[in-house]
Structure formats: C-alpha cells, structure tokens
Chains A and B, each alone.
Chain A
Amino acid sequence: MDRGFFSNVELRTPKGRFFYSLAFLFLAVIAIVTLFPFLYAFTSGLKSSTEVVKSLNLLPENPIWENYSQAWTRFEMPRMFANSFVIVTGSVLLRVGVSAAAAFSLSKLKPIGGRFISLGFLLTLMIPSIAYFVPLYTTIADLPIIHTSLIGSYWGLWLPYTVDAFSIFVLKTFFDRIPGDLTDSARVDGANPLQMLTHIILPLSRSILIVLCVLAFVALWRDFLLPYLVLTDPATQPITVRLFYVAGDYSLNLQMAASFLALLPPLLIAILLQRYMKIGLTLGGVKG
C-alpha cells in the first residue's frame, strides 16, 4: 500500500482531509501560475489586435482562429521549424552515435590510457561552457590545422554539439552492466567489435539511448547563443533565434500566436515522452 508521511487512515479524518485539501490547493495554485504563460499566450493569440491590449480579459470575446494561420505564414514558421529540426536531429544523432562508440570502447575494449581519456571527458563537465565560449567560437570560425570556417554552416553546430560527456558516462555505466560473457561469446563466434556494438550492446541499451536522445533533443532545441552566433543568415536560423528578432515587427496577438506555436514541439515531447524525460532527469541528479 502506497503512503507518504500521511497514512491513508489519517487522511480520512476531518483534520487529515483539511490538510490534504490545503496541500492540493497549494499545488493547484502553483500549477496555474506555472501554466499561466502558456494559456495566456494561447488566448492572447486568439484576440484581435485591439483586444489583446486589454489584457485582463483572459478569454477573447470572439476567438480569431485565423491569427494562428496568419502567424504560421507571416512568420514563415515552417522554415524556422524545419531549420530547428534539421539542426537538432543531426546533432542528436551525431552526439549519441559518437558517445555510444566512445562509451563502448571505454567499457568493453579496454583501451590503454582509458582512465586518462575518461578524465579528459570529465573535465568538460566541470568547466562551465560559457567559460570557453569565446575560443570555441574562434575555433568554429577557423578550425585548427585545416583552417576552414564553419560559420554559417550547420556543421558549425552539429560538430560542437556532439561534445557531451554526460552522454558518454551514462552510456559507459550502462554498458558496464552488460555481462562480459555476452560480448566474450560473440567474440569467440568471430564477431568483430563493430558487430558486437550493433548486434549486442546497442539493442540491449535501447531504453537508455532513447532517454539520451530525448534529453539531447530538448536541450539542443532550447539553445540560443551558439546558433545565434554561428548562423548569421536569417534564412537558416532555428526558431529559437529567429522568432525573437522578428516578433517585434508584428502586432502582439500575432506574436503570442507564433510563440505558442513555437512552444508546441518541446511541450508535446515533454508530455508524450515524460517517462523517458523523468529517467533522464534523475540520471542528471545523480551525476553531481
């Protein structure tokens, strides 16, 4: 039987009921405050450009649904969404792929100096990224040795975004728990390391791979500064960068409609994939 600090019996007493309702009310108020910006953007997006200024009328008198289609076309939202999608999907696949290969090597192939390399990965977790943001930018603008600039190219985001030691450590911990017997018997049967990774390790790690993909997707979809600096051509910018700068040119009701539309993809992911997000968060909490 599930219980917290209140037992189920206590909750049935008048006093218990009173405290329970009070707690429920408190949580509900916080929930309303939390949801308010979303709801407010949604209803403001339905108002006319004169009504939107009278902000205390929460609900529009005559909801204008065309505002949403207007915002969709006038802000050129399909292109912004497509840009975001291409940037984020490419980065997620690269990040998880590169991390899985590295974690597999560290966990199962035991490279000489593996501990030292792990320390190098760990270092990137301990140093705040804003602290090396400037040289990161100059590196992207002028890659060492080959002296190529990735400014204005999606590679300028895809490649730096693969750096995420958290993914490597989570995967390594997970791979470590896969019994060595499995990989050993595969080796005896003549499987090469690549086959071991793709036929044994990855299928067994499907759940954790999904968790990492979802986490990376949401985190990278939110990112602002790097795409803002790397993608100088407005036509290639993701929605997080572009929308803020064009929003000011339009009336408030269209701004709100566009913002609400822009929030939908991450919100839907959070709601539909909450199971995976929750696992990912608790992984993050333990990380330290």
Chain B
Amino acid sequence: MNSPYTLETKMEQPKKTKTLDLARIRAALPGQIAAYIFLLPALMLYAVFAWFPIIQSILMSLHDVRLGGEWTWVGLDNFALMLRDPAFEDAWRNSLEFAFWSLALGYLVPVIIAILVREMRQGKGFFRVVYFLPTVVPTAIAVIIWRFIYDPDIGILNEFLGQFGVSRLLWLQDATLAKPALVAVMTWGAFGTTALIYLASLQDVAQELYEAAELDGATPLQRIRHISLPHLYPVMSLMFVLQVIAVVQVFTEPFLLTSGGPGRATLTPAMHIYNRAFIRFDMGYASAWSVTMIVILGAFSIIYRVVNYRLTADR
C-alpha cells in the first residue's frame, strides 16, 4: 500500500480490531476519492464507447434489431441465418485467401529488409524513413492513386507491363487478380511498420556474437541463419498473429477500391457487417457476424499460441 496513510496503518496494525479497520478505511477515503476522480473521465468514456457496445454486440446478435426500432428476442436465429447465408462462406474464404496472399507477399519481405538495412553503412536513415512513409498515409487517399495505377486502360501498370508484351489485365475487375491486387495495396501500406520493428529488434543483437561467429569461421549467411534470425523469431511469431488478425479485419481497401466485387470476390466479413448494418439496417444480423469474428479471431490466436508453445518447447 502506497497510500498517503501507510505510516499510520502500519502503526495500528498489531491491534487489529474492527473499529480500527473502519478508521483505516476512513483515513484512506480522501485518497480513494481523489484516485477515482482522476479515473472518472476514462471510466465513463470506456463504459459508454467500449464496454457498453461490446456487451450490446453480444446482446444484439440474439435479437432482431432495426435502426431506432424495437429489439425482438430471436435466440440463435441470426446465427442460423448467417450459416445459411452464401456470403458467409465467401467472405471467410476471401479472408483466408487475403491472409495467404498477405503472408506470401509481405511476411518475409520486412525481415529481409530489416536484416539488410541493418548492414547498410550509408543511407540507413533514408531507407528507414522511406519504407515507413506509406504507413502514415490515409487509405482513402492512397486508393485514389492506386485506382489510377491499376486502371485497365490508362493505368501505368498495364502500360508498363505492355512494354514486355503482357496484354492488358483487369486488375480490380478480375476475380482472380483482384485479391492479390488489393493485398499489394495493403502490404504497401503496412510493411514499413513491421520492418522498423524488426530493425529495432536487430539493434539489440550483441555485436560480439557476430565477431565470435566470424572467428569460428561462420560465413555471413550462417551468421544470419544462426544469429540474426533466431533473435527475430519471437517477434516474427508475434507479427504473424498480428498480420493475420489485421488482414481478417480489413475494410477500407476493398470497400473503396472494389466494393467487394467483382461479384463477392473481395467481400470481407467486416464489409458484410457494414452492408448489413448500415445499408440494410439489420443490426442484429450484423452483430451475429461481429460475434463470430471475435470468436474466430480469439480461437485463432489461442490455437496459434498453443501450437507455437508446443513447437518451441520441443526444440
């Protein structure tokens, strides 16, 4: 207890009678009131804008809720409806594919970048800033530029590929191309953060380790494999989880670039929640999707942690 009255309570402790407990509470009261006055703004704001909505999300999923209308208890009907919704399978399969593309395009690149930037004797600061710049850019503005780059008729990507004889591609309008094209935009906007985190972690590797390895005749590649990479493994493991969780929640890029199309090829669960809640005003049904998302993401990080723990324990 670090309360202002620590000294008094300590002196009174040996007696331990009920009246003294009351006295102690009375003595601590002004301090407690002050403590709660400072907490009050946060408590009120979190209650209204976080805790209450979180509970409501669960409650709404069990009700039929229309905007500004009555709540009708429907039990698990929303969930049953969700499982029959053809969009359910599509949206979650898209999420899986997005996660796959995102890991394929962007999981190892930041690691390589960090290891190489760490080696640079010139231009280190320049690279660090440049890679980081897209991460501060508002997505809604970046997509105006990307829309132009991807344009099938006048976009520079097709013009550029045309120089090598590649015929014009419908980047955002073709069901198979739209996913990687969107993931490229997401990766562009996110890899810098990850690279910087790896780079910061690499700064902690003791230089003596490299020196000792060098003396023992380890080649540079071996030094990367046995010193740099093992040092990064814990962070890489964390980044894996964070990247998948972020990709599954993606909204703005598909919403603004493809509106989930063509067809449902880039529809994500977050977009479907938006469509149901704010276009069709079916808030109960949308909440069933939200709750499902919490469950799936929670299960994913728990399973990942258990598997990862088993694997590292074996080593």
Residues of B within 8 A of A41 (CB): 145
Q: Is the CB of A34 within 8 A of B192?
A: yes
Q: Is A174 an interface residue (CB 8 A)?
A: no
B252 touches A224 (CB 8 A): yes
Residue contact A37 to B146, C-beta cutoff 8 Å: yes
Answer whether residue B267 sits at the interface, using C-beta atoms and an 8 A cutoff.
no
Q: Which of B45, B121, B148 contacts A162 (CB 8 A)?
A: B45
Cβ–Cβ contact B210 & A4, under 8 A: yes
Contact indicator B294/A23 (Cβ below 8 Å): no
A130 touches B220 (CB 8 A): no
Is B53 a contact partner of A132 (Cβ separation < 8 A)? yes
Partner of B137, one of A10, A24, A247, A266: A266
The verdict on A72 contacting chain B, using a C-beta distance below 8 Å, is: no
B270–A130 touching, CB < 8 Å: yes
For B155, the closest partner residue in chain A by CB is: A55
A106 contacts chain B at the CB level, 8 A cutoff: yes
Contact with B along A118-146 (1 / 0, CB 8 A): 00110110111011111111111111100
Q: Is A111 positioned at the interface, with any CB of B under 8 Å from its CB?
A: yes
Question: In the assembled complex, which residues on chain A have CB atoms less than 8 Å from the CB atom of B286?
Answer: 134
Shortest Cβ gap from A60 to chain B (Å): 14
Q: How far is the CB of A203 from the nearest CB of chain B, in Å?
A: 17
The secondary-structure label for the interface of chain B is helix
> In the complex, are the beta carbons of A163 and B45 less than 8 A apart?
yes
**Cβ-defined contact, B116 with A105, below 8 A:** no
How many residues of B are counted as interface, with CB atoms below 8 angstroms from the partner's CB atoms? 107
User: A142 to B42, alpha carbons, bound, how many Å?
Assistant: 20
Interface segment among B74-82, B127-135, B167-175: the answer is B127-135
Give the residue name and chain of the A residue nearest to B246 (CB).
A128
Q: Across the interface, do B54 and A132 meet the contact criterion of CB distance under 8 Å?
A: yes
Greatest chain A CB density within 10 A among B4, B123, B273 is at B4
Question: What would 16 more interface pairs be, CB under 8 Å, given A34-B192, A37-B134, A110-B2?
Answer: A2-B207, A10-B214, A23-B116, A27-B116, A111-B32, A123-B54, A126-B298, A131-B294, A132-B56, A139-B49, A143-B48, A165-B46, A224-B140, A243-B144, A267-B133, A267-B137
19 A-B pairs, CB-CB below 8 angstroms? A3-B210, A5-B220, A5-B227, A27-B123, A55-B148, A105-B36, A105-B39, A124-B50, A128-B249, A132-B56, A134-B273, A135-B53, A142-B68, A163-B49, A165-B46, A244-B140, A259-B141, A271-B129, A282-B197
Residue positions of A touching B, CB distance < 8 A: 1-8, 10-11, 19-20, 23-24, 26-27, 30-31, 34-35, 37-38, 40-41, 44, 53, 55-56, 98-99, 101-102, 104-106, 108-112, 114, 117, 120-121, 123-124, 126-128, 130-144, 159-160, 162-163, 165, 168, 180, 187, 192-193, 197, 218, 221-225, 229, 239-241, 243-244, 247, 252, 255-256, 259, 262-263, 266-267, 269-271, 274, 277-278, 281-282, 284-285, 288
